[in-house]
Amino acid sequence: MSKLKTKAQISKLSQEEVKHIAKLANLALSDSELKKFQSQLSQVLEYVGKLSKVETKGVEPTSQVTGLGNVFREDKVVPSLSQKEILSQVKSSEKGFFKTKAIF
């Protein structure tokens, strides 16, 4: 059972919440940005809160308007990109590997 907040709670975001969202979204925010986004995001949330007025009991959600199903491809190998092409967009690669900062 999810924690469904009341309408009032939903509209206003706390700074803590904004921080948490930014972390989940892998975005670094400065303190001033935190404040700015807090009010802007809350504004949007207030607007979309209107949806709660619409009665949706017994209505199925739509994820796909196409009505398509069972779309597959055969298990055949097709040529890949070359290693050169794959690494062409980075400045630093090492012996054919992509490189990023140390994790451990």
Partner 1 sequence: MTNKPNMSKKTYLPIIGLEVHVELETNSKMFCGCSADYFGHEPNTHCCPVCLGLPGALPVPNKKAVEWCVMLGLALNCQIPEVSKFDRKNYFYPDLPKGYQISQYDNPLCINGWVKMKNKQSLISDEIEKRKMKNDNEKSKNDAGKTVRIRRVHMEEDTGKLIHTKERTLIDFNRSGVPLVEIVTEPDIHSAQEAKVFLQKLQQIIRYLGISDCDMEKGSMRCEPNISVREIKNQKSSFGKLRIMLSKVEASKIKTNDELPPYKVEIKNINSFKFVEKAIAYEIGRQEELLSREGFVRQETRGFDPQKGVTLPQRGKEAAADYRYFPEPDIPPIRINKLQISNIKLQIPELPDKKLSRFIKEYGLSEYDTGILTETRETADYYEEVVRKAQTLDSGNLEDSRNLGWIKTIANWIINKKVDIDKVLPKELVKMIVQKSQIRNISQEELEKAVVKVLTDNPKAVGDYKSGKAQALMFLVGQVMKQVKGSADPKLIAKLLNEKIKKKNEK
Partner 2 sequence: MELFDLTIKEARDGLLKKKFSSRELVSACLDRIKKLEPKLNAFITVCEKEAREQTQIADKKMRDLGDMGDTRELFVRYPLLGIPISVKDNYCTKGIKTTAASHVLMNYIPPYDATVVKRLKEAGTIILGKTNMDAWAHGSSTETSDFFTTRNPWDLTRLPGGSSGGSAASVAAAETIAAVGSETAGSIRQPSAWCGVVGFKPTYGRVSRYGLIAMASSLDCPGPITKTVEDAAIILQTIAGWDSCDATTSPKQVPDFLRIIRNGVRGIKIGIPQKYFSVAETEVAKKVDEAVKILERLGAEIKEISLFDPKYAIAVYTILQRSEVSSNLARYDGIRFGFGRERFADEARRRIMLGTYYLSAGYYEAYYLKAQKVRTIILEDFEQVFKGIDVIVGPTSPSAALSVGSSKNDPMFGEMADVLVEPSTIAGLPGLNLSCGFTKDGLPVGMQIIGPQFSEELLFRVGYAYEQETQWYKMKPKL
The residues binding partner 2 (CB under 8 A) are 2-5, 10, 13, 17-18, 21-22, 24-29, 37, 40-41, 43-45, 47-52, 54, 56, 59-66, 68, 71, 73, 81, 85-86, 88-90, 98, 100
- Binding segment toward partner 1, per CB under 8 A, in 4-12, 31-39, 46-54, 73-81: 73-81
The interface partner of residue 96, options being partner 2, partner 1, none and the CB cut-off 5 to 8 Å by kind, is partner 1
Exposure of 16 in the CB half-sphere (CA atoms within 13 A): 0
Q: What are phi and psi of 33, to 5 degrees?
A: -65, -40
The interface partner of residue 34, options being partner 2, partner 1, none and the CB cut-off 5 to 8 Å by kind, is none
> Is 21 in contact with 28 (CB distance < 8 Å)?
no
The interface partner of residue 88, options being partner 1, partner 2, none and the CB cut-off 5 to 8 Å by kind, is partner 2
Query: Which residue reads 């959600």 in tokens?
Result: 61
Q: Which two tokens stand for residue 19?
A: 């921080």
* DSSP symbol at 92: -
Neighbours of 34 (CB within 10 A): 14
Residues that bind partner 1 (CB under 8 A): 24, 26, 63-64, 66, 68-78, 80-83, 86-87, 94-104
